Amino acid sequence: MAVAKRIDGKAKAAELAESITRDTAALLDEYGIKPGLAVIIIGEDPASQVYVRNKKRTAEACGFNSVQHTLAEDVSQADVLQLIDELNNDGAIHGILVQLPLPDHLDEQSITQAVAPSKDVDGFHFVNIGKLTAGHTADAFVPCTPAGCMLMIEDELGRDLSGKNAVIIGRSNIVGKPMAALLLQVNATVTITHSRTKDLPKVVAGADIIIAAVGRPNMVKADWVKPGAVIIDVGINRVEKIIDGEMKMGLTGDVDFDDVSTVAGAVTPVPGGVGPMTITMLMANTLRSARLAAGLEG
């Protein structure tokens, strides 16, 4: 029985981070510019705390100026917007990231849209979304998770996906929709599926490329998968699983990794697949923002 190739996102991310670290050192050496990343975290959400720690550690390892603003759970909308305005006008800051989810009393849309498009390294601003959708990405920021997914797909299938059918499970603004735009740019034939799609397994079964991003543990099974397909699992679900012989809480994806590995050509694991790539692409966007601000790109 064939076993799918395990796409090692951790190794790919480490390789990219090395390149970003070299380019960051060169930017400082040649132009005296140090990329600055500001992260705003509101409240005490444990998962958010972990993500922010990882982002800060990676930014510092790449040689960035890493700034964290930790705000109280009950902070007012006006105070958050004022902080974003100050960071928009700070020449030493090239990327601004507002860690989601936000407390219920804050308006996520008005906060994410307050970040200047030129510093929106998450790629959530409508200006960046519009540029991506129109295919004008020279000076736009692509959301980090889809950008990382595309690099892993490229490693497996090359840069031109002409004749390949790609099926995306999930239509979120953070993954599903930008993923579709990126796949279209490299000539894939793209289908976006979601909770209202009829006969989902049948639709997925025609795919050469599957991107699973719905947040349902182990949903994609071997009988959904075309032999040889490349599968990118974006799902991060906390579930009880056997770890070292004991039942513990662990992470699993939207894809049943062991099951699909008997059919697929290549598949990303969870953890160790898309997650590390997402953080590294955030660093790539921040470095690019610093270069764009200095007139070195674009």
Give percent of the chain above pLDDT 70: 99
pLDDT tier at 1 (50, 70, 90 boundaries)? low
- In 170-280, the DSSP E strands lie at 189-193, 209-212, 230-233, 237-243, 246-252, 266-267
Report whether pLDDT(297) > 90.
no
Two structure tokens written together for 284: 């790539």
How far apart are the C-alpha atoms of 292 and 35, rounded to whole Å? Answer: 11
Check residues 190 and 238 and name the one with the higher pLDDT.
190
Which pLDDT value is given to residue 243? 73
Domains present along the chain, CATH in parentheses: 30-116 (3.40.50.10860), 144-274 (3.40.50.720)
Report whether pLDDT(285) > 90.
yes
C-alpha distances (whole Å) from 229 to each of 77, 253, 259, 268 are: 45, 17, 13, 12
How far apart are the C-alpha atoms of 7 and 107, rounded to whole Å? Answer: 37
Tell me if 40 sits within 8 A of 103, measured CB to CB. no
How far apart are the C-alpha atoms of 71 and 82, rounded to whole Å? Answer: 12
Q: Is 159 helix (H, G, I), strand (E, B) or coil?
A: coil
Report whether pLDDT(298) > 70.
no
Tell me if 232 sits within 8 A of 170, measured CB to CB. no
Which pLDDT value is given to residue 95? 98
Report whether pLDDT(46) > 90.
no
C-alpha distances (whole Å) from 230 to each of 2, 7, 18, 188 are: 14, 9, 26, 13
Task: Please calculate the CA angle 110-192-198 and round it to the nearest 5 degrees.
Answer: 120
What pTM did the predictor assign? Answer: 0.93
pLDDT in tens, 115-138: 999 999 999 999 999 999 999 988
pLDDT in tens, 77-118: 999 999 999 999 999 999 999 999 999 999 999 999 999 999
Which pLDDT value is given to residue 27? 97
Active site residues: 55, 99, 122
Helix (H) or strand (E) holding 65: strand 65-71
pLDDT in tens, 158-217: 999 999 999 999 999 999 999 999 999 999 999 999 989 999 999 999 999 999 999 999
Report whether pLDDT(250) > 90.
no
- Phi, psi (degrees; rounded to nearest 5) at 67: -120, 130
Which pLDDT value is given to residue 240? 80
Check residues 297 and 203 and name the one with the higher pLDDT.
203
Tell me if 148 sits within 8 A of 281, measured CB to CB. yes
DSSP β-ladder status, 189-193 and 266-267: unpaired
Q: What is the mean pLDDT of residues 6-10?
A: 97
Mean pLDDT, the chain, rounded, equals 95
Two structure tokens written together for 59: 């930014």
